[in-house]
Structure 1
Amino acid sequence: MRQSPVKEKMIFKGVCTAAPVPAPAPAPPVVWTPVSQPPAELPRHWKEQLPSFQQDWIRKALFRANTNTGKLELMPNPVFWWYPPQPPNVFTQPPASPDVFFCRPLFLWMPLKMWSIPLVCVQPACNNHRLTAAGLYRTVRKVLDIDGWYDMATEYLECKGCKKKYPAWSDDILAQLDMGHRRKFPAILTYRYSCDHRVVIMMRERTQGNSVTQLYRKLQEEHSAAWTRCTLEYLTACEPFADSSMTEPPVFSAPPPLPALPKPKWLLSVYARDVLSRLPEVKAKITSVFGSVLKMDSTKKVTKKLAGAAANTAGWCTNVGNEHGQILVSVLTAAEGHGLRPMAAGLVRRYREAGVAPPAILYVDRDCCTPHAQGQSLVRATFAEWDELQVHLDIWHFMRRFAAAVITEAHQLYGIFMARLSRCIFELDPEDVTALRLAKQGELRARGAGPVSEKALDKLISKKELALHCRKRTRGVEETARRIKSLIDEMDSEKGRDTLGVPLLDHERIQQIWIDQQRHIACIQDPEGFPLYMKTGSLKKGGVELCCYRCARGSTSLESFHLHLNRFIPGTSASDAHFQAYLLEGLMRWNQDRMEHAVTGKHELRTYDSAEREAMDRLSRKVLKKSLDECFQRPGVYTGKNNSC
């Protein structure tokens, strides 16, 4: 419950304000217009920090001289945003200066005075002693916005117990505000400059080429365009008087120079500060992901971007994903497959502490099984606590091992060989194929085409339609081995030569590969009784209702993720701190996109701030008795117990 307004006056070097009053109803942003009032002067420290063209309108808009005491006081009922007066549409006299054309807004942050929210001292000895108003903070911050700058001022708060003072924009004060009030504060503060949240958001999306250098150039263009517009407006107002036939034409002042932008390195530090401020939330979202079908794979391309002291300290990035394409764990190791026991222990602990059933299947690209004489495989031993976990070899990697025996992938028969190898392993569900054929026949009848043969009909069905509407299943160990052996024998004979007589396969190599890979045929078979396909929706084609499926088999989704993972870190190099900031932010956004795509297929609300979404969900359920964000899932709490991410 909010307390009554604080009664102490706000003192600032002879500047006082009236006692706080209850916060008024929300009002639109204020554009200051001149009014008749006693003259007032700006606080001395503000005068030293504000540029000359800002001082006059801020002095008249925010302050007034008390008629009784003559002391400077703040206008009653202050608001957050104050906008300078606009230049007149028509000038009857030459503009005295260009100042009115280049004024910028002011943001006034006064949570205690405006809302009367009880704020307390964070010192342990004070035992949550209430803070009171202590005037205006002497520092005025300059904040970088998308197309310009604005100034920001705040109030000073004091603890009467320990005499400690806090500016109202400090983290100690902002952390005490609820989400609805805190999000009204627009900027991230650094030592010299400050940065608006809208600029930081532009750095969060991790796509190819989205670097701080590119953002710096975009800001340069936006700022230059805004400055040019103001200069044109000023010069246009001056032009009629410059052409007049007066004996002494007026002398016009040059416009103020374009303010310099902070360098890209500063933008990068602001981005890292933003990620660090949300670090517990980001880690909690990453470590709140689970799955019943896991995939583990490694890549080394992204580790080449580590620079500085961290360069050459990691050789592989190992990732564990689930059936929806989300990433549960991402760790850097010196070598592939080694040093993963702490990661596995953290993953097992995560499932156990969350009370989630262990995964049933784990797809890998190596170490799936070993000869019986050698005991357990490395992967099985790493996840030994999950007794019922089935480790399977990814079929795409299994097929690529046979491709190593091909003399050249440019061979005329290479595509045919790989397609037939796939058919040796998979068969289509006959019911799904029948339904798709009926749908295709219905489409042909709707276009007025006559009946066609089944073979011609199959040629009209695209690979995309087969993948979307038809489920696949493996053929079993014996049938798969027989078909692959028959294919190898055929392609390793005269039938495996092109028109120039060049063979497709190297005889000795393919025979050795077949000997080595026979034991893996059991590893690529689908698990008994476990559904690998999820129904995501349905489509009506040719009058037939067709189901749409998503497959959880294999680690192909991780191969796609690795392409995007390399884009999470823009440019060609990053220090260890910036590398982790980019990686954490990228993983969190990737997981949320995959989750919402799995739930609804498409979601219009594109926001990744779980604190904001949680607050909105709680308030909407309380006020409206329903949720406005059906896709929101509250993340767990990050425990920090070896949950590698």
Structure 2
Amino acid sequence: MSKTLPLQDQRWIANTLFHSGKLRPDLKLWYEPPVPALIYHQTPTPDRFFTHRLMVWMPYHLWKVRVFCPDCGKQLTGYGVHKRSRKVLDIDRYYLMVTETLRCTVCSSNYLSTSQTVRNQLDLPHQKMFRLILTRKYACDIRVIRLLRDRTLGNSPARLAKQLKENHGEEWLNRVAHYFGECAEFVDGPNLLPVVCQQPPKHIDVPTSRWLLSVYGMDILTRLDHIKASITSTFGSILKMDSTKKITKKLAGHGRGTAQWVTSIGNEVGQILNSVLTVQEGPGLDSMVSGVMERYRQADVPPPVLLYVDCGCCKSEGPSKLQTRFAAWPDLHIRLDIWHFMRRLAVGCTTDAHTLYPAFMGSLSACIFEWDAGDLTLLRQAKREQLRQEGVPGITDRMVDMRIGKKELSRYCRRRTRGEEATIKLIEQVLQTLGGANGRDLMGVPLLDDVRMEHIWRVQKHHVRCIQDVPGVRLYAVVGTTTTKCGIILTKYRCARGSTSLESFHCHLNRFIPGTSANALNFQLYLLEGLNRWNQDRGTAAVTSTPSAYLTYSGDVTQSINNNALKLFGQAFVPTFRAPSQYTGELIGVDYLLSQTGQPLNVIPGSEETDNMLEDVDEGEEEEEEEDEGFQEGCGSCMHARNGQSREPGRVSVGAEEPALHGHRKPDGEQHCCSVAEPDGL
């Protein structure tokens, strides 16, 4: 063991673990190293200034657990301390870990206590005490990898590696400063002989960001079964289905170029039931749809009543392809997303930069929707009282309406569609009003291409029936209340209409995959981890009661706590947690794609092939650090174009009823026509 232990740690670890050449029987899990003395009477040595913490992972020795051989089933016995110690990367320092060897006396097989074979035989609380992720050369503390789990913009492996390097560097320099300061006092004092001080030990470098990314994949691999079970335990009564090409180019390796679409199915609160990569839409989605319908049947959950799509909603004669695909749900209503319907009509505009374009889109929204009169009256009353308390004189209805913002309307007021006949009549009025000379700007450019718009409207008119609300289906859920200063109680609503939540999910999809590319295994792991966290975040946001104070995505730990709490106290410790059902076997993400291309993804945790794929991180997968722009030459617009984050138009966050249009405009336009004004005043 002396070959792998730092020199400054060998003496105190030997005295701690061994007595008279034998392993002590009263070991502990953690040991703190001896600290430097407060006062030195002779020249200090660097040993105590640079020692490391020690973790003793010996479950057989510590807890007297019974561990069995996986081959013959006989109980394993202790075979001494393993000769190799491990350096473990922590937030600001390394610490050391030693383990034991277990031996089967029947088949003469040896196992380390750190192996997955031994750890899987421990109960969950003891398993979680092993907070390390082991690689071939190094080891990493789980607290480091937790910083990578939240896949948000800017949270890259390169950023984490830089932060760790800074943490380790500052901690090391603080210890060097302490040691040099103590030695300097002896050099400055009176001495008969020259003072000779030892050099501090060499600093241990922090691994690269590529290594951190491979450890991140190993962490996901240990929780893979629970993650899949959580995803396939998601249901909903109002579903949304949409496809995108956002991240298909990030798939590298033997799967490069095979994925054409990412198709997702979500529910009314924004959770994702399944998200798959496919070689094509249409028939390529039959297996996914069949798996979701079978999930509902096995769980005995009532089938959904409504499905929002971006195409294939209806057919002039006979059932549509979607109706045939969802044949097991004959009562399912398929509706076209209103946002996509409006975008189809917007193609008839000459340009989205036209000055009347916002007014046109706002008018389309007003032609389709009308506000609930009761909610609107209550909001107007609250706004009027607010203006009165502010001392505003001469309050009029128009003044009140102008002070009501879009966020307040969408938060406190519900909307409903006007009906097929009324919508067709109003849209035709808008097209007639803004067409021809009436729709020209100051430069004489018309808003609408009359010939093209006439053809588009003739084709899309029959889809007006597909955008109407289904009678009896509740599209709004109460998420809370707000009491104004004047005592008026306003109800907060969340709308389930349309596929905006899927648009938002696809906007965040790129962040789930670090860097620019990933092989099939890493891509799958990153995607599953992102789906799991996304669903839990959406589920927490949809709960109307006070959320739990414990922010965690480790469902297996929470489930174990609740099971033990029921035995001890008769009630769950985290009542908001719902344990997932058993994994249904549905193919998710890259697995679905490989099932179509005939290249299955074999994942065996701990195998050499799996480890090689986890460590096979492409150069493009390691995100580059941002360059310092302080001394670069060039215009500001070039800098912005090169370093700015692009964003696809038409993407907003979950919670809004409709996404933004070209140039990030809302469907209702930038004018106030989206709020209280009716379409008659165009």
Q: Residue in 2 aligned with 1:50?
A: 5
- Specify the code of the residue in structure 2 equivalent to 1:150: Y
Residue 346 of structure 1 and its aligned partner are, at CA, apart by 1.0
Supply the distance in 1 between the matched residues of 2:552 and 2:365 (Cα, whole angstroms). 41
Give unpaired runs (5+ residues) of structure 2. 593-682
Residue equivalent to 1:93: 42
2:66 to 100, 114, 118: 118
C-alpha displacement at 1:78, in angstroms? 1.1
Amino acid paired to 1:335 = Q
State yes or no: 1:478 paired with 2:426. Answer: no
- 1:408 partner letter: T
Structure 1 length-normalised TM:
0.88
CA distance change for structure 1 residues 495 and 603 in 2, over 3 Å: closer, same or farther? farther
Question: In the TM superposition, what is the alpha-carbon distance from 1:451 to its structure 2 partner?
Answer: 5.7
Aligned-partner Cα distance in 2 for 1:641–1:543 = 51
Residue number in structure 2 paired with 1:584: 528
- Alignment deviations for residues 518-552 of structure 1 (CA, whole Å, 9 cap, x no partner): 01000000001111111111111232111111000
Report deviation, 1:289. Answer: 0.4
What is the correspondence of 1:188-203 to structure 2 with a 5 Å cutoff? 188-203=133-148
Higher alpha-carbon deviation: 175-184 or 577-586: 175-184
Residue 628 (structure 1) aligned with residue 573 (structure 2): yes
The answer to whether the 8 Å contact 2:275/2:588 transfers is no
> How far apart are residue 473 of structure 1 and its match?
0.3
Local SS of the residue matching 1:166: strand
CA distance in 2, matches of 1:341, 1:354: 20
Aligned to 2:462: 519
- Structure ID, larger Rg: 1
Equivalent residue, structure 2, for 1:378: 321
Aligned to 1:29: none
- 2:278: which partner in 1? 333
**1:239 partner amino acid:** A
Give per-residue Cα distances to partners, 1:445-473, cap 9 Å, x unaligned: 33344562222211111111110111100
Q: Where in structure 1 do 4 or more consecutive aligned residues deviate above 4 Å?
A: 641-645
Say what the alpha-carbon RMSD is for the aligned residues.
1.7
Contact 2:306 2:333 in 1 (8 A): yes
Q: What SS does the corresponding residue of 2:386 show, helix, strand or coil? A: helix
Kept in 1, the 8 Å contact 2:548–2:574? The answer is no
Does the 8 A contact of 1:209 with 1:571 survive in 2?
no
1:249-264 paired onto structure 2 within 5 Å? 249-264=194-209
1:625: Cα distance to partner?
A: 2.8
| Residues 297 and 318 in structure 1, CA contact (< 8 A), matched pair in contact too | yes
SS in 2 for 1:508: helix
Q: Quick check: 1:546 aligned with 2:483?
A: no
Q: Map of 1:534-573 to 2, 5 A cutoff?
A: 534-541=477-484, 542-573=486-517
Deviation at 1:641, TM superposition (A): 4.6
Conserved? CA contact 1:293–1:360, under 8 Å: yes
Q: Distance in 1 between matches of 2:547 and 2:63?
A: 39
- Distance in 2, matches of 1:461 and 1:262, equals 54
What is the rounded CA distance, in whole Å, between the counterparts of 1:289 and 1:326 in structure 2? 7
Contact 2:387 2:395 in 1 (8 A): no
Structure 2 counterparts to residues 117-516 of structure 1, below 5 A: 117-123=65-71, 125-126=72-73, 129-244=74-189, 246=191, 248-372=193-317, 375-450=318-393, 452-516=395-459
**Displacement of 1:116 after TM fit?**
2.1
Give the residue type in structure 2 aligned to 1:78.
L
- Secondary structure, in 3 states, of the residue corresponding to 1:523? helix
SS in 1 for 2:108: coil
Aligned mates of 2:547, 2:16 — CA distance in 1: 47
CA contact 1:307–1:576 (8 Å) conserved in 2: yes
Aligned mate of 2:14, from 59, 62, 69? 59
Whether the aligned pair in 2 keeps the contact of 1:282 and 1:585 (CA below 8 Å) is yes
Displacement of 1:391 after TM fit? 0.7
Unpaired runs of 5+ residues, structure 1, are 1-45, 66-71
> What is the percent sequence identity of the aligned residues?
46
8 Å CA contact 1:442, 1:543 repeated in 2: no
Q: Distance in 2 between matches of 1:621 and 1:449?
A: 58
| DSSP 3-state at the match of 2:465 | coil
Give the Cα separation in 1 of the matches to 2:349 and 2:549: 47
The residue type equivalent to 1:303 in the other structure is T
SS across alignment from 2:206: coil
The answer on whether the counterparts of 1:347 and 1:643 sit within 8 Å (CA) in structure 2 is no
Q: Residue in 2 aligned with 1:77? A: 26
1:495 Cα deviation (Å)? 2.0
2:142 is aligned with what amino acid?
Answer: H
Paired residue for 2:54? 106
Aligned-partner residue type, residue 111 of structure 2:
Y
1:39 alignment partner in structure 2? none
SS in 2 for 1:503: coil
Counterparts of 2:409 and 2:534, CA distance in 1 = 27
Shift of 1:118: 2.5
| Structure number with higher relative contact order (C-alpha < 8 Å, ≥ 6 residues apart) | 2
CA offset digits 1:480-532 (Å, max 9, x no partner): 00000111011103221223322111111111110010010000000011111
In the aligned structure 1, how far is the partner of 2:40 from the partner of 2:487? 71
Q: What's the offset of the Cα at 1:330?
A: 0.5
User: Secondary structure, in 3 states, of the residue corresponding to 1:318?
Assistant: strand
Please state how far the C-alpha of 1:603 moved relative to its aligned partner: 4.2
1:350·1:643 contact (CA, 8 Å) conserved in 2?
no
Output one character per residue of 1:572-610: Cα deviation in whole Å (capped at 9) or x when no partner. 111121111110000000000100111147543211011
Distance in 1 (CA, whole Å) between partners of 2:190 and 2:80 is 53
